[in-house]
Amino acid sequence: MKSKIILEDIKIYAYHGVLPEEALIGNNYIINAEFHADLEKASESDDLNDTINYAEINDIIHQQMAIRSELLEHVIGRIIQRIEKAFPQITFIKIKLTKTKPPMRGEMNGVSLEFEKEIK
């Protein structure tokens, strides 16, 4: 059975960016995350030990967002690495990280990076 866990539109205020003012002012970020794993056992057992605790995934995301990085790529890489280590039953991870007000000209809803990783 193919199963997905999807965390949608997690809003976090953080201080990532290359510009010095981004370290002082910060920005709003939105994270979307998708994970694939076989959760059939949990569908039968109703036992948290048979699934992936998405509250723990949420905690990992918040912890990593609190560590300042210049590049969003670095933040996503850390998030993927920590989740992969904590939940070896995950077979696929997709993280989309959006900076809602990037310091660039023009009106926009944000700039996003999205990483996908198949885990073997």
- So which residues are the catalytic ones? 99
Q: How many CB atoms lie within 10 A of CB 53?
A: 13
Cross-strand pairs, 117: 93
Q: What is the DSSP letter of 48?
A: G
Cα angle for residues 31, 27, 22 (degrees, 5° grid): 125
Whole-angstrom Cα distance, residue 56 to residue 29? 19
